[in-house]
Structure 1
Amino acid sequence: MQHPPAKIHRMFELIEPIATITFSEVPTAAFLAIGTRNYWDGYFAGRAAPLGPAPAEVVHAVFYNFADGEVARHIPWVWGKVTPREAIAVRERGSASALRQLIGPLAESPALVRAADLATRAGVSAPTEGRVLYAGLRALPVPEEPVARLWHAATLLREHRGDGHTAALVAHGVGGTEAHVLLALSLGMRAHEFGRVHHLPTAQLDAVVDGLRDRGLVDAAGGLTEAGRQTRERVEALTDELAAPAYRVLNADELDELIAGLEPIAAAVEAADR
């Protein structure tokens, strides 16, 4: 059934901290223990593994928002240390362990089991056409253990939304690095201060900002124009719209129950991360 856009967006807010626990210290340590060199080796090995041993060019295209050359510093090097199948297992174990540590007693609660079941129903129900990373995840077995199942379901829903977000950016002519710049400016930050792109060479980032200025999305002072703000809003609205099919398998009461069940779990993760 159709659900209000506000609830679809609320699901994004709740699944994000649960799914992205995979990028935290415990999973990173698990990858370092098998021979990766740094955080980003583990990031690319774990997140790209459902695609198989895909070359850097493919991973770059699917992930969309990494600057040229960033993926190639890690892929295919990581596939000389770990196979995609091994990376999937390391990522799942590390992520479930991290989630279990952060949420404490909630990990053993019937409410978590119910949330994991509802989230999994949604996570395996959406169409895969045009959703490359989501389709790769859908091909993996769903964990039986509840905490691992919840993390896996949140990851399915996050990557389903992420594939849609990429489509929305492409439809609005916004490149990956441009998307980071627009996000930074919408938060009141200068592009050169934003964590995901601040490491880029100044000239490279200046060129991205200049391109957005030429299109009327950034003003002379380096802030968002009204057109820039509206472009971001349209992208986000379309992203939520494209995420909605995953939740149609749930009726209104079930979606409300899922939201209520995820709220204390997401809050516990966010509180522990502060």
Structure 2
Amino acid sequence: MHPARRLWTVLEPLHAVVYFGADVRSAGKAIGLRGYWDTYFAFRAAPLGAVAAAPVTGLFAGFEPGMVGRSLPSAWSRASAETCLAARSAVSATALRAVGVSDEKCAKAVALLSSLEPAPTGRPLGAANAALPLPEDPVAALWQLATTVREHRGDGHVAALVTAGLSGLDALHLQVSAKGLDPDALRQVRGWTREQWAAARESLAERELLDADGLTMTGADVLESVEELTDAAAWQDGLAGVPVDDVVEVLAPAAFAVWDSGLLPEGNPIGVPRPA
């Protein structure tokens, strides 16, 4: 496995508590946000400031534009970006401690990741997160570093999709077939209508990326090329100095603790696999 993907596999579960933690919705509502999706879009976009819906739709890639527009920019009238940043950090650190992640291991991982210098070019979410000051709390600091790595990688993943001629909706279809996800559940959670979903699938079939049985060989090759380009770009754009073996060794117990807690679903929409 490419070292950039190994790093993502161990850091992504730690980052993902901000989506799946039991108290995330209540943390958003406590600062004035209306519910889960207000909280999701505001918490994730907060490093960019009080940004409008259109750029977030482009950066997040897989969401139906109207779904994003129902939360942004109106969410900023209920909770400032600064308030959202503080709330997401606090709820994520609490969630990690609740599953048994240790302060000592987090502090060690933070030191190992101190060489992280993600390149900002073409990486708006990664750069915005990298610019945030690290909290003194080692668990919150590790969560912020994990978030920077995943958003840096995610920016590159979107660029790789565009290079392959794929939209965010196209990518959802290919992932559904590749990973055996529930297509209707993913469609709904990303806000697409049945008509939009069906039209995108038909387009992919015309391009011979999908057929009646799912992902074609051509589709599988395209999907793998996207992942390989994502890994290569992440590595050359700032991750090559990270001691990946050491980080994985230190954080593997924390990642498994998140998985073992049941907090992160096996068939999760972000596509992170549970390590063997």
| TM-score for both structures, normalised by structure 2 | 0.89
Q: Tell me the equivalent position of 2:9.
A: 13
Q: Report the CA distance between 1:121 and its aligned residue.
A: 3.0
Alignment partners' CA distance in 2, 1:25 and 1:243 = 31
Contact 2:31–2:83 under 8 Å retained in 1? no
Contact 2:10–2:251 under 8 Å retained in 1? yes
1:246 paired with 2:238, answer yes
Q: Report the CA distance between 1:199 and its aligned residue.
A: 5.5
**Counterparts in 2 of 1:41 and 1:149: CA distance versus 1, 3 Å:** same
Contact 2:6–2:244 under 8 Å retained in 1? no
Q: Tell me the equivalent position of 2:46.
A: 49
1:227 paired with 2:218, answer yes
Greater Cα offset, 237-246 or 204-213: 237-246
Q: Tell me the equivalent position of 2:269.
A: none
Q: Which amino acid aligns with 2:13?
A: P
**Counterparts in 2 of 1:115 and 1:198: CA distance versus 1, 3 Å:** closer
Alignment partners' CA distance in 1, 2:183 and 2:6 = 27
List gaps (5 residues or longer) in structure 1: none
**Counterparts in 2 of 1:71 and 1:198: CA distance versus 1, 3 Å:** closer
Q: Tell me the equivalent position of 2:271.
A: none
Alignment partners' CA distance in 1, 2:188 and 2:234 = 24
Alignment partners' CA distance in 2, 1:175 and 1:95 = 30
Q: Which amino acid aligns with 1:214?
A: E
Q: Report the CA distance between 1:27 and its aligned residue.
A: 2.7
Q: Tell me the equivalent position of 2:34.
A: 37
Q: Tell me the equivalent position of 1:207.
A: 199
1:256 paired with 2:245, answer yes
List gaps (5 residues or longer) in structure 2: 264-276
Matched residue SS, 1:45 = helix
User: How many pairs does the alignment contain?
Assistant: 261
Q: Report the CA distance between 1:158 and its aligned residue.
A: 0.4
Contact 2:63–2:191 under 8 Å retained in 1? no
Alignment partners' CA distance in 2, 1:56 and 1:172 = 25
Contact 2:50–2:76 under 8 Å retained in 1? yes
1:144 paired with 2:160, answer no
Runs of 4+ in 1 over 4 A off after TM superposition: 195-199
**Counterparts in 2 of 1:196 and 1:262: CA distance versus 1, 3 Å:** farther
Q: Tell me the equivalent position of 2:102.
A: 107
1:119 paired with 2:113, answer yes
Alignment partners' CA distance in 1, 2:146 and 2:184 = 31
Summarize deviations over 1:152-188 as a string: whole Å, max 9, x none.
0000000000000000001001100110110001123
1:22 paired with 2:18, answer yes
Alignment partners' CA distance in 2, 1:127 and 1:7 = 17
Q: Which amino acid aligns with 2:18?
A: T
Q: Tell me the equivalent position of 1:237.
A: 228
Summarize deviations over 1:19-77 as a string: whole Å, max 9, x none.
11111222322111122221110001111111111111111111111112111010011
Alignment partners' CA distance in 2, 1:126 and 1:198 = 28
Alignment partners' CA distance in 1, 2:255 and 2:188 = 23
Alignment partners' CA distance in 2, 1:67 and 1:25 = 25
Q: Which amino acid aligns with 1:29?
A: S
1:266 paired with 2:255, answer yes
**Counterparts in 2 of 1:6 and 1:16: CA distance versus 1, 3 Å:** same
Q: Report the CA distance between 1:85 and its aligned residue.
A: 0.9
- Of 68, 74, 83, 2:80 maps to 83
Alignment partners' CA distance in 2, 1:66 and 1:48 = 14
* Sequence identity (%): 37
Alignment partners' CA distance in 1, 2:43 and 2:229 = 28
**Counterparts in 2 of 1:259 and 1:177: CA distance versus 1, 3 Å:** same
Alignment partners' CA distance in 1, 2:93 and 2:87 = 10
